[in-house]
Amino acid sequence: MRVFLTGATGFIGSAIVPELLNAGHQVLGLTRSDAGAKALLAAGAQVHRGTLEDPESLRSGAAQADGVIHCAFDHDFSNFVANCEKDRRAIEALGGALIGSDRPLVITSGTGMGNAVEGQPATEDVFNSDEPHPRKASELAAAEILAKGVNVSVMRLPQVHDPVKQGLITPMVELAREKGVCAYVGDGLNRWPAAHVLDVARLYRLALEKGQAGARYHAVAEEGVTARAIAEVVGHGLKVPVVALSSEEAPAHFGWLAAFTGLDIPASSAQTRERLGWSPNGPGLISDLEHMRYFDA
């Protein structure tokens, strides 16, 4: 199938491109820049010019495709609420081009949307529309276009990693480098789920090919890696002290990251594995952090 892919030149999208091509699909990748267009062509994909801020460019890309994967997101987390609303508008635009067809659309959310009981793993069958988390805007938009007949499913992401990038851990590494200390909150036993980027790319493909309308999938290989374990390996890599901070001290140290650093948000992917036959086999988060080149530019 011809797949319109947003975020095609990003961290996850650039792994999805070869995953789709190797499975026999064509890729039409969204990009705003000449450099992005060059990278897509070099990878064997076709180029569609546009941006998340231009709904018509999203609609026209989706209209040319047999299926759509939307993994683009503005990762300026200091402007998180506005960026979640931007994603809602993007999903509405993509869905608008698919109404009246059975062409699949896979949108992206976070595993935190599946947390029902504090301390228990998030699951695919849970979505609390009253949850105050701004990221719910993406799933609410998906529900709205589902009600209009769009074949939409949701991919919920954990901390997606390789030895270079690790989701929210990447800015934590930069902060530890800047401040000369690597910190965690409280006892550091709060957990974050994780998965290797190549495993995540494969799951996007499976969701596109085999997913069901209205389904939610969790791209989770590890249910929960503790904040302390993460801090210890990063501190070792940077050769800086590792310290515990109280929740009161966290905002001054972490800034905008403080909204995330103390969260205990484990997540399960049991339903996803059963439904899509996904079996992640990439390196774990700690292994990738151990193999980071901390002092490279």
pTM flag (> 0.85):
yes
**Is there a single domain that holds both residue 178 and residue 100?**
no
What distances in angstroms separate CA 247 from CA 23, 120, 184, 250, 262, one per listed residue?
A: 47, 21, 10, 5, 8
Per-residue pLDDT reduced to its tens digit, 194-228: 999 999 999 999 999 999 999 999 999 999 999 99
**Orientation of helix 136-147 relative to helix 80-96, angle to 10°:** 20
Confidence of residue 297 (pLDDT cuts 50, 70, 90): low
Q: What is the CATH number of the domain that holds 79?
A: 3.40.50.720
Collapsing DSSP to helix, strand or coil, 278 comes out as: coil
Q: What is the CATH number of the domain that holds 188?
A: 3.90.25
**Is there a single domain that holds both residue 95 and residue 180?**
no
Contact status, residue 142 vs residue 152, Cβ threshold 8 Å: yes
**Is there a single domain that holds both residue 8 and residue 146?**
yes
CA atoms of 63 and 73, how far apart (whole Å): 20
Domain encompassing residue 186: 161-193+223-265+282-290
The more confidently predicted of residues 129 and 274 is: 274
CA atoms of 129 and 144, how far apart (whole Å): 12
Provide the number of structural domains found in the chain.
2
CA atoms of 116 and 137, how far apart (whole Å): 17
Task: Report pLDDT for 123.
Answer: 97
**Is there a single domain that holds both residue 209 and residue 286?**
no
**Is there a single domain that holds both residue 211 and residue 242?**
no
Per-residue pLDDT reduced to its tens digit, 65-81: 999 999 999 988 778 89
CA atoms of 261 and 174, how far apart (whole Å): 14
**Is there a single domain that holds both residue 214 and residue 82?**
yes
Task: Report pLDDT for 30.
Answer: 98
